[in-house]
Amino acid sequence: MQLHVTLTPEVKARIDAIAVRAEAPLWAVVEAALKAGTEDADGIPVEWNLRNPDAEALPGVEGTQTAA
């Protein structure tokens, strides 16, 4: 499936660098990043720290975070 996203230049550069070093396509880097980590009972990676009301929201998603 296709996914069209807007990224900060820093994130795009990091994805590009990882893809070059891993000799992998961009989609594989993004997919691997989303699969990495330990999921909580709701399937959200705990490393994202979205359940902590004091944590910053995901970049570009201000105002959408809710406390558990």
Name the β-bridge partners of 39.
45
| 13, two tokens | 């550069």
Quick one: pLDDT at residue 44? 82
Degrees, nearest 5: CA angle 1-26-38: 80
Answer whether residue 2 shows pLDDT above 80. yes
Quick one: pLDDT at residue 43? 84
With H, G, I as helix, E, B as strand and everything else as coil, classify residue 39: strand
pLDDT class of 67 with cuts at 50, 70, 90: very low
- Residue-wise pLDDT for 13-57, tens only, equals 999 999 999 999 999 999 999 888 888 888 888 887 776 655 555
pTM higher than 0.75: no
Are residues 18 and 29 in contact, defined by beta-carbon separation less than 8 angstroms?
yes
What CA–CA distance (Å, rounded) separates 65 from 59?
11
